[in-house]
Structure 1
Amino acid sequence: MAAERAHRLALEVDRLRAEGVTGQAAILRALTERGAPTHRGGAA
């Protein structure tokens, strides 16, 4: 389960980078806007 979530997150990060989103803060902001869960599983 955790490996599956990590894989999906990695794919999403790859998509963001392909869209030109770079830098850790920008990626985290974009993931939050897209509703990605936090590392503890809660809503961002």
Structure 2
Amino acid sequence: MLQFTIGVFAHHEEVPPSRWAGVLPVWPALVTLTWDGLSAGRREAVPETA
């Protein structure tokens, strides 16, 4: 993903719409995965008080 971003924005490579269609769905998936991982980690790190 980093290589794609560098290619598009730093080297001004042309990206056809079909490639954008393949790349754009990755970002919401990464956000969802990161959010879930962080929230699960916080739940395990917080001790329960009785």
TM-score category of the 2 structures, normalised to the smaller one: 0.3 to 0.5
Normalised by the length of structure 1, the TM-score is: 0.42
Structure possessing the higher relative contact order (Cα contacts under 8 Å, 6 or more residues apart): 1
Normalised by the length of structure 2, the TM-score is: 0.38
Query: Would you tell me which structure has more helix in proportion to its own residues?
Result: 2
